[in-house]
Amino acid sequence: QVQLVESGGGLVQPGGSLRLSCAASGSIFSIKAMGWYRQAPGKERELVARVMHGYSPNYADSVKGRFTISRDNAKNTVYLQMSSLKPEDTAVYYCNLVHGPTYLEVWGQGTLVTVSS
């Protein structure tokens, strides 16, 4: 079984920065992709940023130029550096992992990011 442990969420003022981390552990077979999604109150979950094996990262238009996703393959960890945060970035951020020959999908428990003055 695979587990994802997220950390780094919290309260930040508009214009501030936060760094989210997600560490994967367990029976991981050939990671296909790791990424971050978010869900704001009353809205559907949406892709924020994702790194697929062998491809450049892709980002939601709303975060391009402000967020950066990176991976540490040795640690099976993915990071999301968030800068110039806006109130509309407030959401629960979920880590996502896709692995194995059948593209199994695993979700983290979510970490709350609140951008407010």
The yes-or-no verdict on residue 54 having pLDDT over 90 is no
Distance CA 23, CA 74 (A): 11
Distance CA 92, CA 44 (A): 11
Average pLDDT over residues 20-45: 94
Q: Are 39 and 46 in contact (CB under 8 A)?
A: yes
How would residue 47 be classed by pLDDT, with cut points 50, 70 and 90?
very high
- Nearest CA among 42, 87, 98 for reference residue 62: 87
What pLDDT score was predicted for residue 29?
85
